[in-house]
Structure 1
Amino acid sequence: MVGHRFCLSLFFLLALAVTAFSTLEFSRDDFPPEFIFGSGTSAYQVEGAAFQDGRTPSIWDTFTHAGHAHGATGDIACDEYHKYKEDVRLMVETGLDAYRFSISWSRLIPYGRGPVNPKGLSYYNNLINELISHGIQPHVTLCHSDLPQALEDEYGGWLSRKILKDFTVYADVCFREFGDRVLYWTTVNEGNTFVSGGYDVGITPPQRCSTPFGNCTEGNSSSEPYIAAHHILLAHASVVKLYWKKYQNKQHGFIGINVFAMWFVPLTNTTEDIIATQRAQDFYLGWIFGALVFGDYPEIVKKRAGTRIPAFTIQESKQVKGSFDFIGINHYFTTYIKNNREMLKMDQRDFSADVAVDMIPIQDDSPPDQFSVLPWGLQQLLEYFKRVYGNPPIYIHENGQRTQRNSTLNDTGRVKYLQGYIGGLLDAVRNGSNVKGYFIWSFLDVLELLDGYESSYGLYYVDLDDPDLKRYPKLSAHWYSGFLKGRNITPDGPIEIQMNKTPLSDA
């Protein structure tokens, strides 16, 4: 036991020390030639046209129209539904290899099942063709938190096993219609945070929870997060099985799943905090990846959740185990973990109480509304995937800096963040991490789930007061474009320039 604690302590001390060895000077040519750089959005956050051409509401529409997301909605958003050609032109000017986006299930199949909507089909064909014709790879997510409201109303969405069939049929349509041009498929975005936010504390769609864990009209925080995640895993495995059996040999593509992945560091070197940190890893990562890699949930998760977490049958375990060609990771920050003894003692428990930790932000000199620049956290996260999960192929699907919207086009904080994390990623790749690509979140200033249009992550500012929703490049767009086009990145960082509202090609 002493040796085990010593190894854990040493591992986390190394995690804290690795920042001293981060790459400071690098260029795109330092990455493998086949490494992909891109940026991304998702359907509800960027498309708009929410009630046009046959699209029906998703659970995200219902959530925002109930007054959440600070009163903002995606009814218009960035109107990429009508402006996709302009946006693809900006992607070309920026120098992206790939664009990650999602398909709106309720635009393609309006009621979740049944006939395909011809206008929805036409839109995604047009977008994909526009990307391909300009040399940009489409990376497509099938469900980005926007389950059709019709399925939520009919049988409770992800809480019912009926979702397995409907999601598989929907995926079949996407593979059949788009798979000749789309080679990279992600089934579900951030399944772990989707269920914890939507079914535990109720702060995201479909806004289900129970007291004392949240304030919702219906739900059960103790069991529903585990049930929904279980069905997400089974539905994912069903879709992967379909793709591998019916499409992969003809289309030669790849399929995976995505999770939100923080890196955790013990607040102190005490045994309690070290064990609590591993418990957090098991719940936030092992909950999904333990099942995918080993065919079952981590022992601590099963022990803490007890009968509240469904068990895999032998056949389900075999189908879930290994059901991916790659793993998608959304990583933004690293946080301290402190053991919470009181939560461990609670009789009534939800997911958070099962984890029983306090998360304490790690501060650097970044403004309080921005994420700290801690690229060593990403490096250690990738080392963890090497050590625990066998170093699977990984795409960094989201990584980016939050700022207040409309603050400035001269977003030096975002540039500092991107420079640090891309340099740290290069160190991880050089150290053997099997990372295949990196996508900045987000390409445009989109509707954000929790705070609407009050924060931004975009490389491009979208003027919501302009009837044409004109796009303007920020300093970060210029920086990323320069990096993608071969500029050497030095320790001195970017030169601060006063940005005017000019197109990227004219700046």
Structure 2
Amino acid sequence: MYDRLLQSGELTFPSSFTLGAATAAYQIEGGVREGGRGPSIWDTFSHTPGKIEGGATGDVAADHYHHVDEDLDLMAWLGLDAYRFSISWPRVMPSGEEVVNQEGLAFYSQLVDSLLHRGIQPVVTLNHWDLPQALEDKYGGWRGRETAFAFEKYAEIVGAALGDRVAIWSTHNEPWNNSFSGYGSGAFAPGGTNHADALKAAHHLNLSHGLAVKALRRTVTREDARISVALNIFRIEADSPADTEAARLFDAVANRVFTGPMLRGEYPTDLLEDTRQFTDWSFVLPGDLAICHQPLDLLGVNYYEVMHVRLNPSFDPDTEKIGGTAFPGSERIEFVRRAELDRTGMDWGIEPRGLEDHLVALSAEFPALPIMVMENGASFPDTVVVIDDRPAVMDLDRTKYLEAHVRATHRALTRGAHVVGYLVWSLLDNFEWAAGYGPRFGIIHVDYETLKRTPKLSAYWLRTLCATRATPGLTQGPGEREYGTAVADWPVITG
């Protein structure tokens, strides 16, 4: 039934280009009190009333912990080149340091073996936000310098256990959210609301990144393994020529606070100046920046939308209250909602051109680093219906989104960008952090009551892309009318 909506591809990726999908441990695993796992800051945060939409938690999520074989078979059916997943630090080290939970480590070792058995390359992220609660209690989490050294030891343990088999390693995923959303705005775990703490956390994440890279270099033995970091380097565009200062301000605190230390070995001078009312940066000790700046084999980039910014015309530095904002300096910036753009279910503007230009610009800025799109995808409302006596999810909006962004990635390649892979976010519908279970990003639908998996149209689209390495299109006309605009006429599965 899905095949009637898919056309042959016309843009072909080279055989060396990696195609796959991604997930994160706390968003899919469940089993939070099983297998010796300890609590994470997201367990604590999600069980705090009022923090998560609908009072949701990740206690069960997509229950990947108990459905791992089924999910692996779905990955094999998709024909993925690679699968990116994160390791739950508290599952491997329940207290965050010292004691290793061998049962937790064995879970990931078996996952890696099962992927390789199916011809899928493992892409491991060491930290996708689920910091052990014990480290938050003991050191203040990423506020504490000690957490960076605990992360080094954790990286060393995982590297020694899995380093003979894992193809790609990422130290962190989106340290922006770990620091500024977690310790500055309070939107994410652990819920801190202090800009000085957010900047301190950002530095300790940078430091821990460098320490972890060194630990992986000591322990990883797979000869072709590559070490990276997955950054949500924002694509920032000034709303007008008069708003370039807004773009500079946001670029400093959103992007260069991480790319500076990690990729250049320095904090930008303008960032230090912009944030002097919050901190004197005395937590940056001699030798830290040399540790942060470790050679990488790959740069991971997560892309969802273009950030259109302008200066806040009502900002008055003499009367404006400093603090209580999303990030340092955000009171000076406005984010522009472009009315002409189509939008995702998360109300994010859809601009494939932004991804194309972003990849080209990043390749020019960091010419020595190959780039992998480690996350790109979209949330849209989904409905499971019955077509040809089978359950189906005709997620045309998501499929069109992925098609457009894969095409944008291909255009970036033709313009000389050094892009080596593209991973869809996400393999499964999952716990979407503070938004709970409302947004669905998966190409495979998960019924959160029965945990039944149903591949969506977008999954069939990705399967075709992986099989042919050519970008499949969508039919226009009768096929789309039959299964798209008229989808409400089909019986809905309710149980």
> TM-score of the superposition, structure 1-length normalised?
0.85
One-letter code aligned to 2:298:
F
2:239 to 244, 255, 267: 267
The Cα of 1:407 is off from its aligned counterpart by 7.2
The Cα of 1:366 is off from its aligned counterpart by 4.1
Whole-angstrom CA distance in 2 between matches of 1:147 and 1:460: 27
Whole-angstrom CA distance in 2 between matches of 1:26 and 1:424: 18
1:329 to 301, 305, 309: 301
Whole-angstrom CA distance in 2 between matches of 1:400 and 1:146: 21
1:430 to 414, 419, 440: 414
Residue number in structure 1 paired with 2:25: 43
1:354 to 315, 319, 329: 329
Residue number in structure 2 paired with 1:227: 200
What SS does the aligned partner of 1:38 have? strand
1:34–1:237 Cα change, 3 Å = same
One-letter code aligned to 1:320:
C
User: 5 Å matches for 1:169-188?
Assistant: 169-188=153-172
1:180–1:470 Cα change, 3 Å = same
What SS does the aligned partner of 1:437 have? strand
Residue number in structure 2 paired with 1:303: 273
Residue number in structure 1 paired with 2:226: 254
Whole-angstrom CA distance in 1 between matches of 2:346 and 2:326: 27
Whole-angstrom CA distance in 1 between matches of 2:349 and 2:368: 26
One-letter code aligned to 1:230:
H
Residue number in structure 1 paired with 2:141: 157
Q: Percent identity at matched positions?
A: 33
Residue number in structure 1 paired with 2:254: 284
The Cα of 1:257 is off from its aligned counterpart by 1.3
Deviations 1:381-415 (CA, angstroms, capped at 9, x unpaired): 22331333335221111100111354771111101
User: 5 Å matches for 1:380-459?
Assistant: 380-390=357-367, 392-404=369-381, 406=383, 409-459=393-443
The Cα of 1:279 is off from its aligned counterpart by 2.6
Does the 8 Å contact 2:172/2:229 carry over to 1? yes
What SS does the aligned partner of 1:63 have? helix
Whole-angstrom CA distance in 2 between matches of 1:234 and 1:309: 14
1:443–1:491 Cα change, 3 Å = closer
The Cα of 1:367 is off from its aligned counterpart by 6.1
1:406–1:202 Cα change, 3 Å = farther
The Cα of 1:72 is off from its aligned counterpart by 0.9
- Which stretch shows the higher mean deviation, 86-95 or 383-392? 383-392
Does the 8 Å contact 1:40/1:100 carry over to 2? yes
1:353–1:341 Cα change, 3 Å = farther
RMSD of Structure 2 on Structure 1 (CA): 2.4
Deviations 1:22-59 (CA, angstroms, capped at 9, x unpaired): xxx99487222211011111111111111112111100
1:62 to 23, 44, 67: 44
One-letter code aligned to 1:60:
W
The Cα of 1:153 is off from its aligned counterpart by 0.7
1:316–1:420 Cα change, 3 Å = same
- Does 1:477 find its partner at 2:459? yes
Deviations 1:42-100 (CA, angstroms, capped at 9, x unpaired): 11111111111211110010111113222111111111111111101101111111111
The Cα of 1:454 is off from its aligned counterpart by 0.7
Whole-angstrom CA distance in 1 between matches of 2:221 and 2:344: 49
One-letter code aligned to 1:99:
Y
Does the 8 Å contact 1:248/1:254 carry over to 2? no
- Which stretch shows the higher mean deviation, 407-416 or 187-196? 407-416
1:493–1:32 Cα change, 3 Å = farther
- Which stretch shows the higher mean deviation, 27-36 or 488-497? 488-497
Deviations 1:262-297 (CA, angstroms, capped at 9, x unpaired): 322221232xx0222133222211110012222111
Does the 8 Å contact 2:164/2:221 carry over to 1? no
Does the 8 Å contact 2:265/2:289 carry over to 1? yes
What SS does the aligned partner of 2:435 have? coil
Whole-angstrom CA distance in 1 between matches of 2:172 and 2:46: 20
Whole-angstrom CA distance in 2 between matches of 1:55 and 1:313: 34
Q: Which runs of 5+ in 1 are unaligned?
A: 1-24, 210-220, 502-507
Deviations 1:174-228 (CA, angstroms, capped at 9, x unpaired): 011111111211111110122111111101001011xxxxxxxxxxx23011100
- Which stretch shows the higher mean deviation, 46-55 or 398-407? 398-407
- Which stretch shows the higher mean deviation, 74-83 or 483-492? 483-492
Residue number in structure 2 paired with 1:4: none
One-letter code aligned to 1:362:
R
1:405–1:29 Cα change, 3 Å = closer
What SS does the aligned partner of 1:450 have? helix
Does the 8 Å contact 2:31/2:65 carry over to 1? yes
Whole-angstrom CA distance in 2 between matches of 1:207 and 1:482: 42
Residue number in structure 1 paired with 2:388: none
Does the 8 Å contact 1:370/1:402 carry over to 2? no
Residue number in structure 2 paired with 1:144: 128
Does the 8 Å contact 2:22/2:426 carry over to 1? yes
- Does 1:129 find its partner at 2:113? yes
Residue number in structure 2 paired with 1:207: 191
